[in-house]
Amino acid sequence: CATAATGADVALWMRNPVPPGTRTLPRLPGITLPDNVTITGDFPRSADVVLLVTPVQTARDVSTRLQTVLDPAVPVVTCCKGLEQATSLLPLDVLAETMPGRPTGVLSGPNFAIEVAKGLPAAATLACADLALAQKLTSLLNTSAFRVYASDDAAGVQLAGAAKNVIAIGAGITIGAGLGENARAALITRAVAEISRLAETTGGRASTLAGLAGMGDLILTCTGRGSRNYSVGLELGEGRSLEDILASRTTVAEGVLTAPAMRALARKHHVRAPIIETVTRILGEGFTIEEARHLLLDRPPTQE
Ligand SMILES: NC(=O)C1=CN([C@@H]2O[C@H](COP(=O)(O)OP(=O)(O)OC[C@H]3O[C@@H](n4cnc5c(N)ncnc54)[C@H](O)[C@@H]3O)[C@@H](O)[C@H]2O)C=CC1
Ligand SMILES: O=C(CO)COP(=O)(O)O
């Protein structure tokens, strides 16, 4: 909807067929698609830009199939916020394998889809390794309701977008378990330090964590009840099992599969990542909240 607000014709590819004349989508209640949006089951052959908005674990499959039909000069911008589970790769590193040589970028920021679709004010960062390309794509997507900033730190923006989902689960656990808002604020702030270390070690910049894709999205996702990752954490903190929580949902909470992939990335680069480590253990290794509390708080004091 934000792209349609630029006035451009938008083809919305969907993998499942919808009845002819469909103008609403279950995931965007109350929104009627603008007239310049066409729903299609066919991948585009050409476009000014293609936005890839699927769960990150499907990015390899979808981009591989898209590559076979899409003009090689068309830029592809990923909106995925996560790491590929099997490889710990960032989305653009997946695309480098599936769409070699193609211009690519990432769009990320504090953007609940429903608010963007309503035309409420929002901002995001569009990053490409090539700043000139980021600036060109920014001008294609910018509107008076959706302000897009250009960046050349594609690695930092992707890492921030992926990590905030893991941290949001931790923030939800903190509140769900009754550990308090001081604890959540401390967790978010120390997460910035943790993600900054990881960004610097993996080709990004720590300063990106102060921006929309970093602090901006952490604030939204770690406090907004509209976040799927935060709400998974809330329910975990309240004592529900992960299996039960996921069984009752149809939407993706990227942090669940990204947490172990991000821990693997941190370990590979010898980066201290106690919060990501703790969330991963709670999600997949039967770690209790009490054990998590000790792991995080009983470490020797360090310098900020
Ligand atoms: N919803 C939001 O507010 C925002 C989501 N994102 C990111 O965008 C990505 C997609 O998220 P959502 O659209 O919210 O997720 P979603 O849970 O609403 O589902 C995304 C869509 O992908 C489709 N899908 C699932 N498996 C697929 C496959 N194998 N092949 C093709 N399509 C498949 C689903 O049918 C669904 O239509 C995630 O990485 C998310 O973190 C980023 C910003 C905001
Ligand atoms: O990325 C988002 C907001 O910027 C959406 O967050 P959730 O995936 O946790 O709902």
pLDDT tens digit sequence for 196-206: 999 999 999 99
99 lines ligand 1 (CB under 6 A): no
Q: Check residue 12 and give its pLDDT.
A: 97
The pLDDT > 70 percentage for the chain reads 100
Pocket test for ligand 2, best of 228, 232, 245 (most atoms within 8 A of CB): 228
Atom of ligand 1 nearest to the CA of 111: 44
Per the annotation, the verdict on 164 as an active-site residue is: yes
Atom of ligand 2 nearest to the CA of 229: 9
Q: In this model, does residue 6 exceed pLDDT 90?
A: no
Q: In this model, does residue 225 exceed pLDDT 90?
A: no
Q: In this model, does residue 263 exceed pLDDT 90?
A: yes
Give buried/exposed letters for 128-149 (b at 16+ CB in 10 A, else e).
beeeebbbbbbeebbeebbebb
Which residues touch 202 (CB under 8 Å, ≥6 apart)? Answer: 155, 159, 265, 269
Q: Do the bridges between strand 122-127 and strand 146-151 make them parallel or antiparallel, or are there none, so unpaired? A: parallel
Q: Check residue 158 and give its pLDDT.
A: 98
Query: What ipTM was reported for this prediction?
Result: 0.94
Q: Is 16 annotated as a binding residue?
A: no
Q: Compute the distance from residue 289 Cα to the ligand 1 centre, in Å.
A: 29
Atom of ligand 1 nearest to the CA of 56: 39
What is the gyration radius of the CA atoms in the chain, in angstroms?
Answer: 19
**Mean pLDDT, range 101-112, rounded to an integer:** 98
Give the pTM: 0.97
Per the prediction, the chain carries an average pLDDT of 97
Which band of pLDDT confidence, cut at 50, 70 and 90, is reported for residue 232?
very high
Q: In this model, does residue 166 exceed pLDDT 90?
A: yes
Domain limits, CATH 3.40.50.720, in the chain: 4-154
Q: Check residue 1 and give its pLDDT.
A: 80
Q: Rounded CA gap, 293 and 288, in Å?
A: 9
Domain limits, CATH 1.10.1040.10, in the chain: 163-297
163-297: CATH, from 1.10.3720.10, 3.30.465.10, 1.10.1040.10, 3.50.50.60: 1.10.1040.10
For the structural domain made of 4-154, what CATH number should be given?
Answer: 3.40.50.720
53 lines ligand 1 (CB under 6 A): yes
Q: Rounded CA gap, 3 and 277, in Å?
A: 37
**Mean pLDDT, range 143-150, rounded to an integer:** 98
Q: Do the bridges between strand 122-127 and strand 104-108 make them parallel or antiparallel, or are there none, so unpaired? A: antiparallel
**Mean pLDDT, range 256-275, rounded to an integer:** 98
| Residue of minimum CA distance from atom 32 in ligand 1 | 54
Task: Please give the span between the terminal C-alpha atoms of the chain, in angstroms, as a whole number.
Answer: 42
Q: Is 252 annotated as a binding residue?
A: yes
Q: Using an 8 Å Cβ cutoff, are 40 and 14 in contact?
A: yes
Q: Is 268 annotated as a binding residue?
A: no
Q: Rounded CA gap, 226 and 207, in Å?
A: 27
> 17 burial class (0-12, 13-18, 19+ CB within 10 angstroms)?
exposed
Q: Check residue 117 and give its pLDDT.
A: 97
**Mean pLDDT, range 8-31, rounded to an integer:** 95
Model pLDDT for residues 26-81, shown as the tens digit of each residue: 999 999 999 999 999 999 999 999 999 999 999 999 999 999 999 999 999 999 99
